[in-house]
């Protein structure tokens, strides 16, 4: 297979205390936001990362882009490590990974016109076959916006238009991997379809690998080839999206899939409602992290963390008592 | 049937802009019956927020209420003095906002804020705290006594929203207005909050006006639904009727676009072609005409009115079909 991104046992750890206070007290002095994640993304493939807020999805994306510190493990892009070079200059591979941020308007500079925003990547990386302004025009037409949008400021755009500008900027330098953090959050259903269709079309044209972070499972079902379900910084289950939808093995996956509110008034039955709260990352439960809310948890779950079962390339999960 | 708690008739609201008046709401008519959950669904720009701020009379300075009435238990809210309105808000009518982080005061503990809400009641601090504690318990917050001393940032998103709901129910209002209360939450928490709202509604017997652009949440929670498009009510009726047999082309389109309804995975998701009409220069005829797949000549000439009994829709095609 043509593996574009390979993540192995990735940990992202943030310090909570510094200096002398780190030595005193009984509170932990660090928090593991991403806790041992492994994932492959191939060219032309869409992989969805699903999970509740605070489960570490965005931090994982940041770590892949080099915007969050990697504590342990590695991120290999096209076989090479994607870290800062020794003289603290950005690795040239970085421009092959593009990020679409969660907040469509907030991630565009309010003081720049759309044209300036789209021309900026070319100026920074000093690439592009024509002038940055011409490139900006080309990008606008790529995402289906007319040329006069170039003169607008972000506050003059609607949510859907701002998303399109976000897509255009992310694709400016023709990356190989696009990381889209909640690309449809807050969008209306009709516009949500537009943005997703646009991403799929560009994926076909450019052979992009896409990592999409979302908690909208309806979207995942349509666009993802593979998916990973994240809980407290770990993937509890990952693999082929269709297989996971039709036969989830981890109890958390099952609950998440069943919680999906549907517009069919008769669809409400068969829902598994999880009790309790998501535990704090500061007080990571012993054993399996999900045992505090799991309907199937037994004594073993409170003591030992279940190893990876199943086939990593197909469908794999961490559970002592998987579903059939 | 008893008198509705809230009855809105022919409400029109416009905003003064440089380009002229922007007609944000036009002839909005619907009722919230006692003890029912009514959902208002519509995409951004359909006038949901203008509608709520008009009901609680906290409208932007450039907004003008053109005509219509908002009867709350028989009294017109639009004719009340600001003092009378103040007495209603937070007591008879209360609200839950979209983002619990910004609607709670970040520098005051939960308990203090919940006591503040009870400023109308002649109770001691201790009695107020006891009430707050039992209310937190009722919305399903574990260990409520300990939570009273905590600050909003120390709670998770789902807990914060439940605190906001507890505060809104503190005065046992007749009408609870919930403005996209689950948008900031995840699917599993969303379901938790929806079920909690249903339970509380049964216990307290209040009416809920629930605003959302998430069709699935509306289908899950509401008894009746009002569909809005570009400042007009295009369809309203019992939830099952509207979702199972939508009459207005916009409602049908909206439901078609919902990825949950499409069984076969597809990378070519349906969209509603075109964009919202300019509300400063309203088009003639039907507001949805430019995006409607099946227009007839009359659609460009005459504005359709809401018609039907119980399940209503404003579309010329319904006349011709019968």
CB proximity list for B122: less than 8 A, separation 6 or greater: none
Per-position pLDDT tens, chain A of length 324: 578 999 999 999 988 766 666 666 666 778 889 999 999 999 999 999 998 877 889 899 988 888 888 888 988 888 887 665 555 566 677 788 898 888 888 889 999 999 999 999 888 877 766 788 888 988 898 888 888 889 999 988 877 788 889 989 998 888 999 999 888 876 777 778 888 998 898 899 888 999 999 878 888 999 999 999 999 999 999 999 999 999 999 999 998 888 777 777 776 556 777 777 778 888 889 999 999 989 999 999 999 999 999 998 899 999 999 998
Q: Same domain for B212 and B152?
A: no
> Given strand A30-42, what is the order of strands in its sheet?
A30-42, A3-15, A72-77, A80-81
Helix, strand, coil distribution of chain B in percent, nearest 5:
35, 25, 40
Domain assignment present for residue B62? The answer is yes
Domain assignment present for residue B287? The answer is no
d(CA B200, CA B214): 21
Contact A264 B253 (CB under 8 A): no
Please provide the average confidence, as pLDDT, over all residues in chain A.
86
> Which chain B residue is nearest to residue A262, measuring alpha carbons?
B216
Q: Same domain for B203 and B188?
A: yes
Convert the pLDDT of each residue in B113-124 to its tens digit: 999 999 988 999
Domain of residue B110 covers 105-170
B261 to chain A, any CB pair closer than 8 A? The answer is yes
Contact B259 A264 (CB under 8 A): no
Closest Cβ–Cβ partner in B192, B259, B268 for A219: B259
**Residue finishing a domain among B170, B202, B220:** B170
pLDDT given at position B61: 92
Convert the pLDDT of each residue in B255-296 to its tens digit: 998 888 888 888 888 988 887 888 889 989 999 999 998 899
Domain assignment present for residue A24? The answer is no
Q: Same domain for B60 and B198?
A: yes
Closest Cβ–Cβ partner in A53, A188, A223 for B267: A223
Phi, psi of A228 (to 5 degrees): -135, 135
Closest Cβ–Cβ partner in A189, A223, A273 for B258: A189
Q: How many Cβ atoms sit within 10 Å of the Cβ of residue B112?
A: 17
Instruction: Please list the ranges in chain B whose pLDDT falls under 70.
Output: 1-2, 184, 321-322
Task: Report how far apart, in Å, the C-alpha atoms of B64 and of each of A35, A201, B31, B88, B143 are.
Answer: 54, 45, 22, 21, 47
pLDDT given at position B35: 93
**Counted domains in chain B:** 2
Domain assignment present for residue B246? The answer is yes
Residues of A in contact with B218 (CB under 8 A): 263
Q: Same domain for B152 and B180?
A: no
Domain assignment present for residue A323? The answer is no
Q: Same domain for B34 and B142?
A: no
Domain assignment present for residue B310? The answer is no
d(CA A1, CA A43): 9
Residues of A in contact with B260 (CB under 8 A): 218, 260, 262-264
d(CA B312, CA B322): 14
Closest to A154 in 3D by CA, of A141, A144, A164: A164
pLDDT given at position A22: 62
What ipTM describes this predicted complex? 0.78
Domain assignment present for residue B295? The answer is no
Q: How far is B188 from chain A (nearest CA, A)?
A: 5
Residues of A in contact with B272 (CB under 8 A): 190
Q: Same domain for B177 and B265?
A: yes
The torsion of the CA quartet B12, B16, B18, B22, rounded to 10 degrees, works out to -10
Q: What is the CATH number of the domain that holds A33?
A: 3.40.50.300
pLDDT given at position B259: 85
pLDDT given at position B33: 95
Return the residue in A215, A261, A274 with the most chain B beta carbons within 10 A, the one to mutate for interface testing.
Answer: A261
B263 to chain A, any CB pair closer than 8 A? The answer is no
pLDDT given at position A251: 94
Closest to A166 in 3D by CA, of A198, A126, A189: A198
**Residue finishing a domain among B238, B270, B302:** B270
Domain of residue A45 covers 3-16+29-318
B270 to chain A, any CB pair closer than 8 A? The answer is yes
Closest Cβ–Cβ partner in B43, B185, B259 for A222: B259
Closest Cβ–Cβ partner in A218, A242, A255 for B259: A218
Q: Is B34 exposed, middle or buried (0-12, 13-18, 19+ CB in 10 A)?
A: middle
B48 to chain A, any CB pair closer than 8 A? The answer is no
Q: What is the CATH number of the domain that holds B250?
A: 3.40.50.300
Q: Same domain for B182 and B257?
A: yes
Domain assignment present for residue B237? The answer is yes
% residues pLDDT > 70 (chain B)? 98
Find the angle CA(B277)-CA(A194)-CA(B271) to the nearest 5 degrees.
Answer: 65
Q: Same domain for B18 and B161?
A: no
Domain assignment present for residue A52? The answer is yes
Helices H / strands E in chain A, number of each: 8, 12
Q: Same domain for B68 and B113?
A: no
Contact B243 A200 (CB under 8 A): no
Q: Per CB distance under 8 Å, which residues of A are interface residues toward B?
A: 51-54, 158-159, 186, 188-194, 196-197, 200, 215-219, 221-223, 242, 255-256, 259-265, 268, 271, 273-274, 276-278
Alpha-carbon A323 to chain mean position: 26
Task: Report how far apart, in Å, the C-alpha atoms of A283 and of each of A27, A29, A232, A279, A292 are.
Answer: 10, 12, 11, 7, 12
Helix, strand, coil distribution of chain A in percent, nearest 5:
35, 25, 45
Q: Same domain for B134 and B251?
A: no
**Counted domains in chain A:** 1
Closest Cβ–Cβ partner in B157, B240, B266 for A265: B240
B106 to chain A, any CB pair closer than 8 A? The answer is no
Q: Which residues of B, range 122-161, sit inside 8 Å of A by Cβ?
A: 142, 156-159
Residues of B in contact with A264 (CB under 8 A): 219, 243, 260-261
B215 to chain A, any CB pair closer than 8 A? The answer is yes
Contact B271 A194 (CB under 8 A): yes
B239 to chain A, any CB pair closer than 8 A? The answer is yes
Between A and B, how many CB-CB pairs are < 8 A? 125
Q: Same domain for B186 and B259?
A: yes
B82 to chain A, any CB pair closer than 8 A? The answer is no
Task: Report how far apart, in Å, the C-alpha atoms of B187 and of each of A104, A244, A293, B226 are.
Answer: 21, 17, 16, 23
Domain assignment present for residue A311? The answer is yes
**Residue finishing a domain among B147, B170, B193:** B170
Domain assignment present for residue B229? The answer is yes
pLDDT given at position B309: 86
Q: How far is A224 from chain B (nearest CA, A)?
A: 9
Domain assignment present for residue A133? The answer is yes
% residues pLDDT > 90 (chain B)? 59
Domain assignment present for residue B283? The answer is no
Q: Same domain for B88 and B193?
A: yes
């Amino acid at each position: 297979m043509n593996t574009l991104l390979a993540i192995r046992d990735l940990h992202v750890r943030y310090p909570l205390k510094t200096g002398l206070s780190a030595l005193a007290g009984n509170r932990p002095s660090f928090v593991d936001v991403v806790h041992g994640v492994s994932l492959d993304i191939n060219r032309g493939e869409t992989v969805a990362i699903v999970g509740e807020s605070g489960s570490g999805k965005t931090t994982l994306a940041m770590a892949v882009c080099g915007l969050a510190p990697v504590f342990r493990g590695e991120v290999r892009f096209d076989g090479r490590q994607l870290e800062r070079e020794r003289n603290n200059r950005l690795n040239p591979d970085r421009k092959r990974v593009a990020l679409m941020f969660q907040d469509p308007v907030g991630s565009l500079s309010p003081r720049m016109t759309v044209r300036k925003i789209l021309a900026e990547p070319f100026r920074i990386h000093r690439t592009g076959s024509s002038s940055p302004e011409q490139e900006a025009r080309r990008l606008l037409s790529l995402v289906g916006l007319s040329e006069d949008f170039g003169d607008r400021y972000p506050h003059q755009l609607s949510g859907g238009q701002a998303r399109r500008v976000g897509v255009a900027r992310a694709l400016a330098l023709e990356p190989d991997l696009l990381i889209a953090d909640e690309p449809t959050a807050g969008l209306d259903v009709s516009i949500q379809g537009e943005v997703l269709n646009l991403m799929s079309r560009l994926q076909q044209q450019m052979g992009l690998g896409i990592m999409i972070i979302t908690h909208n499972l309806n979207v995942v079902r349509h666009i993802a080839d593979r998916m990973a379900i994240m809980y407290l910084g770990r993937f509890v289950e990952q693999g082929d999206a269709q297989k996971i939808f039709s036969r989830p093995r981890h109890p958390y996956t099952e609950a998440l899939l069943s919680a999906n509110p549907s517009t069919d008034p008769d669809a409400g039955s068969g829902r598994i409602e999880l009790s309790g709260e998501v535990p704090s990352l500061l007080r990571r439960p012993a054993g399996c992290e999900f045992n505090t809310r799991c309907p199937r948890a037994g004594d073993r779950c409170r003591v030992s963390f279940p190893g990876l079962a199943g086939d990593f390339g197909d469908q794999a999960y961490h559970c002592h008592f998987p579903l059939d | 049937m008893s008198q509705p708690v809230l009855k809105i008739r022919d409400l029109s609201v416009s905003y003064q802009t440089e380009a002229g008046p922007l007609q944000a709401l036009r002839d909005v008519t619907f009722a919230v019956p006692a003890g029912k959950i009514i959902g208002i669904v519509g995409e951004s720009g359909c006038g949901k927020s203008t509608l709520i701020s008009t009901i609680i009379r906290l409208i932007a300075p450039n907004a003008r209420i053109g005509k219509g009435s908002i009867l709350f238990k028989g009294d017109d809210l639009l004719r009340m003095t600001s003092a009378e309105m103040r007495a209603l808000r937070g007591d008879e009518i209360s609200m839950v906002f979209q983002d619990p982080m910004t609607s709670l005061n970040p520098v005051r503990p939960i308990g203090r804020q919940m006591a503040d809400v009870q400023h109308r009641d002649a109770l001691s601090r201790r009695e107020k705290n006891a009430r707050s504690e039992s209310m937190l318990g009722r919305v399903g917050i574990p260990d409520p006594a300990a939570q009273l001393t905590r600050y909003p940032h120390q709670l998770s998103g789902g807990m914060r929203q439940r605190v906001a709901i507890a505060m809104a129910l503190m005065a046992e209002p007749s009408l609870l207005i919930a403005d996209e209360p689950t948008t900031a939450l995840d699917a599993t928490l969303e379901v938790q909050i929806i079920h909690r709202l249903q339970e509380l509604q049964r216990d307290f017997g209040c009416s809920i006006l629930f605003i959302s652009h998430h069709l699935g949440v509306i289908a899950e929670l509401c008894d009746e639904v009002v569909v809005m498009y570009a400042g007009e009510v295009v369809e309203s009726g019992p939830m099952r009727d509207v979702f199972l047999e939508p009459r207005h082309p916009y409602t049908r389109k909206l439901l078609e676009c919902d990825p949950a309804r499409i069984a076969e995975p597809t990378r070519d998701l349906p969209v509603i072609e075109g964009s919202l009409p300019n509300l400063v220069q309203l088009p003639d005829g039907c507001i949805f005409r430019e995006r409607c797949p099946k227009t007839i000549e009359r659609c460009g000439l005459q504005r359709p009115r809401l018609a039907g009994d119980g399940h209503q829709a404003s579309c010329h095609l319904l006349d011709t079909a019968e």
